[in-house]
């Protein structure tokens, strides 16, 4: 995916934030969180690694503090962008999974954003990520269509 824009970067960020605000990302996060009872958190991260919105399981204790979550989200956005660089040779990236001692995390590309999901270890890795992917495939078309309607910004899929 290539972004062509006639705007400077700060104006483009403002436009993308306005477009993001129009899309019901909070509801998407809740829908993903509710796919399975072991999902702890689902959030949308912009391409700069900032959390746009998220939905956490009730009474959840986060493993990292707020400052470290910001760093975690920045790294997730950067990793996702870097992995997308290989789409031409390896095929489109659907998601990545990180299996840690305390938690499983997953990252899914969605337009210019990254969907970040964390789950308890008792989690079906062969089923749940694909259920989430199906939800996102339906949404991805809507996100891309809403962004291509903006005359100052054009998305080209390769």
Tell which residue, 4, 60, 56, 64, has the closest CA to residue 30. Answer: 56
Helix residue ranges per DSSP H, 63-127: 66-84, 87-90
Alpha-carbon distances of 151 from 10, 21, 44, 89, rounded to whole Å: 17, 18, 24, 31
* Two structure tokens written together for 5: 């824009």
DSSP helix/strand/coil, 43: strand
pLDDT value, residue 123: 85
Q: Which domains does the chain have, with CATH numbers?
A: 2-156 (3.30.450.30)
Is the backbone of residue 46 left (phi > 0), alpha (psi -120 to 50) or beta? beta
pLDDT value, residue 105: 96
Task: Compute the average pLDDT of residues 84-111.
Answer: 94
pLDDT value, residue 153: 36
pLDDT value, residue 138: 84
Task: Compute the average pLDDT of residues 49-76.
Answer: 93
Query: Average pLDDT over the chain, rounded to whole?
Result: 80
Reply yes or no on whether the pLDDT at 82 is more than 80: yes
Instruction: Please answer whether residues 7 and 153 qualify as being in contact, where contact means their C-beta atoms are separated by less than 8 angstroms.
Output: yes
Q: Which residue has the higher pLDDT, 23 or 2?
A: 23
pLDDT value, residue 39: 97
Reply yes or no on whether the pLDDT at 101 is more than 50: yes
| pLDDT tens by residue, 108-158 | 999 899 999 999 998 889 999 999 999 998 876 555 555 444 433 333 333
End-to-end CA distance of the chain: 6
The CA distance from 140 to 33, in Å, is 17
Least confident of 26-30, 45-49, 141-145: 141-145
**Contacts by residues 68-73 (CB-CB < 8 Å, ≥ 24 positions apart):** 73/43, 73/45, 73/49, 73/116
Residue 17 pLDDT grade (very low, low, confident, very high; cuts 50, 70, 90): very low
Task: Compute the average pLDDT of residues 77-84.
Answer: 93
């Amino acid at each position: 995916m290539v972004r062509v824009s006639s705007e400077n970067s700060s104006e483009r960020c403002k436009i993308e934030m306005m477009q993001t605000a129009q899309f019901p990302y909070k509801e998407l996060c809740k829908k993903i969180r509710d796919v399975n009872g072991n999902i702890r958190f689902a959030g949308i991260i912009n391409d700069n690694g900032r959390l746009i919105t998220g939905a956490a399981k009730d009474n959840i204790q986060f493993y990292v503090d707020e400052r470290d979550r910001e760093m975690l989200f920045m790294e997730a956005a950067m990793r996702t962008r870097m992995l997308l660089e290989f789409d031409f040779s390896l095929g489109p990236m659907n998601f990545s999974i990180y299996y840690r001692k305390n938690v499983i995390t997953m990252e899914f590309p969605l337009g210019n954003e990254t969907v970040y999901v964390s789950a308890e270890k008792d989690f079906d890795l062969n089923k749940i990520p694909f259920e989430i992917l199906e939800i996102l495939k339906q949404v991805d078309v809507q996100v891309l269509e809403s962004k291509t309607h903006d005359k100052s910004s054009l998305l080209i899929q390769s």
